[in-house]
Amino acid sequence: MLVLFVVACSKEQVAPASDDDDSDAKLPESEVVSEPDGEEVIQDQPIEQSVDEVTEPLYALNAVWAFEPIGDANPKAVLLTIDDAPDKYALEMAKTLKELDAPAIFFVNGHFIDTEEEQAILKEIYEMGFPIGNHTKTHANLKQISEEEQREEIQMVSDIVEQVTGERPKFFRAPFGVNSDFSKALVKEDSMLLMNWTYGYDWEKQYMDANALADIMVNTELLHDGGNLLMHDREWTAAALKDIVQGLRAKGYDLIDPATIQGVED
């Protein structure tokens, strides 16, 4: 079976076959890769638990960027992820997911969290119970910049996320799925789980429509147990999100709580 390994956050580039291959490709599976002030305010509770609550790992990321169950965990489960947040629609998407009791990771870019207003949105998303992942400062191709620039791209985002939320990111996804040996070591040093994806479509022209996107995300032949689903902060994705979640559940898939993913220190 083929697993689609495609563009993250850009409709003009295709993610590499591996960290050492920048060619455009669709690859065999074996190669793939969230306060108001005032008295008596009741804060929203997290989707299932506090993002910093210690939880026994139930899923482990494998070599093709999918998730395998640990012990008796349900194998028929997928992870939802949102990249390029919080641009224009991330908060709306977080509210939709919250209403649906659907967990997800929001991967943020530094250029979307450099103002007080943007940081307030980031904090709101986090306080709804969604973990914040690191997606670099400027969405640069890490293999095309110096090691010092890579360090700034990664650490600057983790520092701001920690400043705003009180917690450093536990997950990292490189732009375009391209990592360098240096970035991989730096990510591991900062105790983040390096993550790519198994499939996604919302950057392709034919899927920049809510109905078309919801259909392909749920009915693609690439949907399989442990899928690592890539979506973005986009208008059409926000509009399709409810149907995507409901469609996956109708097919019997559970949604993986990121708090149950085995991290680098587990």
Q: What is the Cα 174 distance to its own chain's centre?
A: 10
Please report, for the chain, the start and end positions of each structural domain, with discontinuous segments joined by +: 78-266
Quickly name the fold that domain 78-266 has: TIM Barrel (3.20.20)
92-115: pLDDT as tens digits: 999 999 999 999 999 999 999 999
- The C-alpha atoms of residue 237 and residue 226 are separated, in whole angstroms, by 21
- Residue 54 pLDDT > 80: no
- At 27 the pLDDT is 31
207-245: pLDDT as tens digits: 999 999 999 999 999 999 999 999 999 999 999 999 999
- At 32 the pLDDT is 38
Which residues fall within 8 angstroms of residue 260, CB to CB, at 6 or more apart?
55, 56, 57, 58, 59, 73
- The C-alpha atoms of residue 70 and residue 100 are separated, in whole angstroms, by 25
- Residue 135 pLDDT > 70: yes
| Stated pTM of the model | 0.82
27-41: pLDDT as tens digits: 333 333 334 444 444
- At 214 the pLDDT is 98
- Residue 24 pLDDT > 80: no
The candidate with the shortest Cα–Cα distance to 133, out of 15, 8, 6, 49, is 8
DSSP state of 100: T
